[in-house]
Structure 1
Amino acid sequence: MKISEVLNCSFSAWYPRFKDYTIKSQIIPLPQEFIDYLLADQVVLPEGTLAMSASDSDTEDNRNTENVIDWATEDLLTPVAEPPNFPEFETLLKNTIKRLGGQVFPKLNWSAPKDATWISFDRTLKCTCTSDVYLLLKSSDFISHDLTQPFKHCCDDENLKNETNVKYELVLRKWQELNPAYEFRCFVKDNILIGISQRHNDMYYRFIPENRKEIVSDIQAFFYHIVKDNFPDKNYCFDVYRRCQGKLLLLDFNPFGQVTDGLLYTWEELEGDELFQAEDLQQHVPELRCVESPSGVQSNPYGAYAFPKDFIDISSGDDPSKLVQLLQSKVREQNGECSSDDETTEYEGT
């Protein structure tokens, strides 16, 4: 995987070519002060931010005012640091949300804050106001990775990685209620569609294995007619939403490499040659992998982000010292020596 391949998967690099086949979106350049705010340790929402929908911010008839939270009110929240202030960016963000119908899906150049849905009220990435956007971005490790290590898995020289200037952007996509059963990830190697995977493998959907042939045929046609000759690289991944037979929606592009989740494939398979099934590679029929039965369901990949980090370290064995501390704490508790102000957990993502 090369830096150029990562840059070609940045949203603003591919959206102009494929805007007729994907969800309506707006790209907003990120000011440096906002990037610094996202990378700062403390979670403090900008001054004056209201949890109010942009679509009805000018009217009070459609919303119970008792449910409106003023994050700047000292009686409700005493900030541990000076609240940041981005008046021009805030105004642009509000207007964009309103222009997209009052409900948006946020992401940066490459990643969406899917690991932070645990902090939202409805456990989704639907944002109706600026505070929703700020809170999701600020709580996401995926977003931090975009900002600090976008080329971590690239094979280019380290000096080139450090010298490559990234123009960071906030992408707001018009919110659509998408059924996760209809999402698929497609893997392209040497301009050949070598594999397709069910996008959400934490669920079993009976219709997928029952309609495998039709799904593969639709995705192949979409790849050859829409994607193949319009994307600049030979190796990449793309996600599609198959609304019904013959109707597909492009969702995103991702680099072909470890930084992208292989889902029901391993990267050893994807980078090898065993997935090719025909001597004539142009006639290759990609395999569609899906959850074949309820027993094949895998765990939600984002579930661990909602748990205290110490619990995860203990259960995985990544930090044995924390297990020792836990056992020592239990011994003290049994001996009546446990102090009421012992701190044993640190929440990840805050």
Structure 2
Amino acid sequence: MKKEQVVHCQFSVWYPLFRAVTIRSVILPLPENVKEYLLDDGTLVVSGREDPPSHAQEGSDDAEEIQAPEFPEFAAKVQEAITSLGGSVFPKLNWSAPRDAYWIAMNSSLKCKALSDIFLLFKSSDFITRDLTQPFIHCTDDSPDPSLDYELVLRKWCELIPGAEFRCFVKENKLIDFNPFGEVTDSLLFTWEELTSGKNLKGHQGEGEATEQDYPVFRCTNSKVTVQPSPYLSYRLPKDFVDLSTGEDVHKLIDFLKLKRNQQDDD
């Protein structure tokens, strides 16, 4: 995957071409101070409300009041866009939506009615952080990173049924998704080896030799084994827990085993 291809997969690049056949959306430039706020590792404070939250600093004799950052001009544009889209929106950046952070919302949904809802999801999302800091992480070319203008995309909220969604890929001008064609995108019932091999894809997996066809290939599952839980469930857990369960951090695993051994010795 090339950096130029990633740039061409930005929402603002393809949306004007397909505006008539996709969900109505509004694209707003993301101010630099908002980007800095989203990347700030400080306490999660949410701005964009009519009554900005504040609290007193503990341990201070003067009870110094800390105010959440405010972005009045940007907040007004966002609220105007939300109203024009019916009052509820699905937010995303140039490429990604905060799908990994839906659990932190009060309604466990990506449905947003105000800037505060969007900030809560964005500041809790690894996907959003990746868009802002490592958009070209899976690219193979060594050319300098292209300059980017980050954008907040607000899409009219629609009640979509996940089981009725289909993912498509376009390869060499043939329909084979608007997502980057690379491993950063989930290939679902296909494998990336198949998609990049240059060979014609086959239909249903498993039952003998399928006939090679020159139109889009459809795959579905008829086995409960292939019905997996949401891939975003692990984002609800502390990273230490995830690293232990997957064995990705050897040092944490060693510390955990030492702790268990000490507990057994104490018993």
Superposition TM-score, scaled by structure 2 size: 0.85
Q: Check conservation: 1:45, 1:71, Cα contact below 8 A.
A: no
Q: Does 1:183 align with 2:165?
A: yes
How big is the shift at 1:112?
0.3
Q: Check conservation: 2:55, 2:67, Cα contact below 8 A.
A: no
Q: Are the structure 2 counterparts of residues 111 and 81 from structure 1 closer, same or farther at C-alpha, using a change threshold of 3 Å? A: farther
Match of 1:74 among 25, 47, 55: 55
Please name the residue that 1:326 is paired with: 256
Please name the residue that 2:20 is paired with: 20
Please name the residue that 1:209 is paired with: none
Q: Are the structure 2 counterparts of residues 17 and 97 from structure 1 closer, same or farther at C-alpha, using a change threshold of 3 Å? A: same
Please name the residue that 1:287 is paired with: 217
How big is the shift at 1:94?
1.6
- Secondary structure (helix, strand or coil) at the match of 1:288 reads coil
Q: Are the structure 2 counterparts of residues 82 and 328 from structure 1 closer, same or farther at C-alpha, using a change threshold of 3 Å? A: farther
Q: Are the structure 2 counterparts of residues 19 and 105 from structure 1 closer, same or farther at C-alpha, using a change threshold of 3 Å? A: same
Q: Are the structure 2 counterparts of residues 155 and 327 from structure 1 closer, same or farther at C-alpha, using a change threshold of 3 Å? A: closer
Q: Does 1:271 align with 2:196?
A: yes
Please name the residue that 1:205 is paired with: none
Name the Cα RMSD after superposition.
Answer: 2.7
Q: Check conservation: 2:27, 2:153, Cα contact below 8 A.
A: yes
The 5 Å alignment of 1:233-312 reads 238=177, 253-276=178-201, 284-312=214-242
How big is the shift at 1:73?
4.5
How big is the shift at 1:72?
0.6
Q: What residue ranges of structure 2 are gaps of 5+ in the alignment?
A: 203-212
Q: Check conservation: 2:93, 2:150, Cα contact below 8 A.
A: yes
CA deviation map 1:307-332 (0-9, x unaligned): 12111111111123223333444556
Q: Check conservation: 1:44, 1:83, Cα contact below 8 A.
A: no
Q: Higher strand share goes to which structure?
A: 1
How many residue pairs match? The answer is 252
Q: Are the structure 2 counterparts of residues 80 and 73 from structure 1 closer, same or farther at C-alpha, using a change threshold of 3 Å? A: closer
Please name the residue that 2:95 is paired with: 110
- Secondary structure (helix, strand or coil) at the match of 1:287 reads coil
Q: Check conservation: 2:54, 2:67, Cα contact below 8 A.
A: no
Please name the residue that 1:45 is paired with: 45
Match of 2:138 among 146, 153, 175: 153
Q: What residue ranges of structure 1 are gaps of 5+ in the alignment?
A: 51-69, 195-237, 239-252, 278-282, 337-350
Q: Check conservation: 1:109, 1:168, Cα contact below 8 A.
A: yes
Q: Are the structure 2 counterparts of residues 328 and 79 from structure 1 closer, same or farther at C-alpha, using a change threshold of 3 Å? A: farther
Q: Check conservation: 2:47, 2:115, Cα contact below 8 A.
A: no
- Secondary structure (helix, strand or coil) at the match of 2:169 reads strand
Identity of aligned residues (%): 51
Superposition TM-score, scaled by structure 1 size: 0.66
Match of 1:87 among 72, 83, 107: 72
